[in-house]
Amino acid sequence: MITDFLNEKTIQLKVKAVDREDAIRKAAACLVEEKKIKQDYIEQMIEALHKFGPYIVVIPGIALAHAEAGSTVMEECMSMMTLKEPIAFGHESNDPVSVVIVIASNTKDKHLEVLMDMSKLLMKKEFIQLLNESEDVNEILNYFKIEEEKK
């Protein structure tokens, strides 16, 4: 369930970032603070972006930042950050990015269920609109809870 991963500490709204690297660092910083990932995981995500390109921009406006599962992840986790101003990640058709989601796993498949749940929500226009407009973390958390109750 998404609410097992996202909470008041791991959702940030209307954050100012200067570029895509800064956006990833800021989106993941709360996970370092919560001791769920090591700082090295952030650098691995940025290295992957440089090496493989902006493949993490999975749908228009949404970047799903991640790196390989491994020792830099202490606990399965996720964070979400909306940007005050959208940023170009270099994706031909899905730029600019206004939401950065970080997902970190220490196994190859444990995180897939929450990723599938998030993917379903990201296909809903009402959810994207909420993310882009909301200034209240609890509003987003309540949306997640309502969606989970529908299951």
pLDDT recorded at residue 122: 92
Residue range 6-47, pLDDT digits in tens: 999 999 999 999 999 999 999 999 999 999 999 999 999 999
Mean pLDDT of 50-59: 94
pLDDT recorded at residue 109: 67
Residue range 77-99, pLDDT digits in tens: 999 999 999 999 999 999 999 99
Q: What is the pTM of this model?
A: 0.94
Instruction: Calculate the alpha carbon distances from 100 to 56, 62, 71, 103, 150 in Å.
Output: 9, 6, 23, 10, 25
CATH number of 2-149: 3.40.930.10
pLDDT recorded at residue 82: 98
Instruction: Kindly tell me the burial class for residue 146, based on how many C-beta atoms sit within 10 Å of its own C-beta (0-12, 13-18, 19 or more).
Output: exposed
